């Protein structure tokens, strides 16, 4: 029999026993409420863990027993231990947390996942109830808090724009800034703005819609309307930034992979006193004409060692989706691998800070 390992938060004890061909783990809970939060009110989280791993989880009130083969019980034991730590820090795990935690435990290990899930970033207002869902998102929010300019590069669904918007709205409501500027370049594959009706602002308005959607999800409509009327919040095409100096503002440049080098330099040099900027983009979705360099790609290379600038790289691991949507994506990827006889390129989330270091 192996020695028991004490939970660092005091109370939970994880024991390991060999019983015939099965390995069991036991986790001691402090209250029935912990079991409800750990497994879901109707046990839906426990069912998902069991279906994903093949392990059996037996809830005995003050004790949870995990039965199964060594690899399964090890992974489930690590995941439940970290989720319990998150519960004791005030977090209630979701289905998305379970899916992410299982994947991390299998590939990178579950260490510190409880702290990640329970993290309450100082850059966000508590009443927003927005937290990082992955290690990469946690590093992103830390960078937003500690750097004047943050550049974040990653695929769709990683929360690049949403988390930037949450940090900007929090800063505005906390009166840390006086204006919020949301902008993006008006470049889309196969479409020409010249054929759209209206003036420039009306032409680009459909391309700015995702920024409005994120804004409305965080602030009630009446307040958004007042902010827009007073130009406390400004949503505008990148062309409108030329010649301006943004003092005491939080500026977000979205879809920055579609900026030219000149446009990127123009945006970055708009920053004035007491201002912060976030630049987001996906370098796999560049819609610029052939031969034109992406301003985001160039800036991330040129500025990687510049103090005050953080460069965050998010990956597929940081994509946060509805669990059913994730299963649909996985099914299509499996089909694609079968057709092409290959495997998708694996990606790794990492952080480049002002030192330019890469783990």
Q: pLDDT tens, 149-174?
A: 999 999 988 999 999 999 999 999 99
CB distance 161 to 211 below 8 Å: yes
* Nearest CA among 102, 105, 98 for reference residue 40: 98
Q: Which CATH architecture has domain 126-352?
A: 3-Layer(aba) Sandwich (3.40)
- pLDDT higher for 333 or 351? 333
> How many Å apart are CA 185 and CA 257, to the nearest integer?
9
Domain residue limits, the chain: 5-118, 126-352
CB distance 256 to 295 below 8 Å: yes
* Nearest CA among 349, 311, 313 for reference residue 104: 349
Contacts 24+ apart (CB under 8 A), 4-8: 7/81, 7/84, 7/85, 8/85
Q: pLDDT tens, 199-233?
A: 555 666 676 677 788 888 888 888 888 998 898 99
Q: pLDDT tens, 118-127?
A: 888 888 888 8
pTM of the model: 0.75
Looking at residue 18, its pLDDT comes to 45
Phi/psi for 164 (5° steps) reads -60, -45
Looking at residue 190, its pLDDT comes to 39
Q: pLDDT tens, 5-26?
A: 434 334 444 444 444 445 577 8
Mean pLDDT of the chain: 82
Mean of the pLDDT values across residues 130-153?
Answer: 93
The strand order across the sheet containing 5-6 reads 5-6, 13-19, 22-28, 63-68, 56-59
CB distance 123 to 101 below 8 Å: no
Looking at residue 191, its pLDDT comes to 41
Looking at residue 236, its pLDDT comes to 81
Q: Which CATH architecture has domain 5-118?
A: 2-Layer Sandwich (3.30)
Q: Is the pLDDT of residue 358 over 50?
A: no
Q: pLDDT tens, 252-273?
A: 999 999 999 999 999 999 999 9
CB distance 50 to 9 below 8 Å: no
Q: Is the pLDDT of residue 357 over 70?
A: no
- pLDDT higher for 144 or 16? 144
Mean of the pLDDT values across residues 76-98?
Answer: 91
Looking at residue 186, its pLDDT comes to 74
3-state secondary structure labels for all residues of 133-165:
CCHHHHHHHHHHHHCCEEEEECCCCCCHHHHHH
């Amino acid at each position: 029999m192996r020695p028991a390992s004490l939970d660092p938060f005091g109370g939970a004890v994880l024991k390991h026993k060999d019983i015939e061909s099965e390995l069991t783990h036991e986790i001691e809970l402090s209250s029935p409420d912990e079991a409800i939060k750990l497994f879901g009110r109707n046990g839906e989280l426990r069912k998902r863990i069991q279906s994903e791993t093949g392990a059996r989880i037996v809830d005995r009130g003050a004790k949870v027993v995990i039965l199964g083969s060594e690899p399964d019980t090890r992974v489930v034991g690590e995941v439940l231990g970290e989720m319990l730590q998150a519960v004791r820090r005030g977090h209630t795990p979701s289905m998305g947390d379970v899916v992410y935690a299982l994947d991390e435990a299998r590939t990178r290990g579950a260490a510190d996942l409880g702290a990640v899930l329970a993290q309450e970033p100082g850059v966000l207002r508590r009443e927003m109830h927005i937290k990082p869902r992955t290690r990469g998102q946690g590093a992103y929010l830390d960078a937003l808090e500690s750097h004047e300019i943050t550049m974040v590069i990653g695929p769709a669904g990683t929360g690049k724009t949403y988390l930037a918007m949450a940090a900007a709205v929090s800063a505005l409501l906390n009166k840390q800034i006086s204006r919020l500027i949301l902008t993006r370049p008006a470049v889309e594959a196969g479409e020409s703005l010249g054929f759209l009706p209206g003036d420039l602002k009306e032409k680009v308005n459909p391309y700015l819609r995702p920024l409005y959607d994120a804004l409305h999800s965080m602030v009630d409509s009446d307040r958004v309307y007042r902010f827009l009327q007073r130009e406390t919040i400004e949503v505008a095409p990148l062309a409108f930034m030329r010649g301006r100096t943004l003092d005491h503002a939080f500026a977000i440049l979205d879809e920055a992979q579609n900026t030219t080098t000149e446009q990127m330099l123009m945006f970055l040099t708009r920053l004035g006193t007491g201002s912060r900027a976030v630049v987001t983009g996906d370098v796999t979705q560049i819609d610029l004409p052939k031969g034109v360099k992406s301003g985001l790609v160039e800036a991330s290379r040129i500025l990687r060692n510049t103090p005050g600038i953080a460069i965050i790289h998010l990956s597929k691991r940081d994509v946060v989706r509805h669990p059913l949507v994730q299963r649909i994506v996985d099914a299509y990827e499996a089909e694609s691998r079968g057709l092409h006889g290959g495997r998708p390129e694996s990606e790794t989330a990492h952080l480049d800070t002002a030192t330019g270091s890469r783990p």
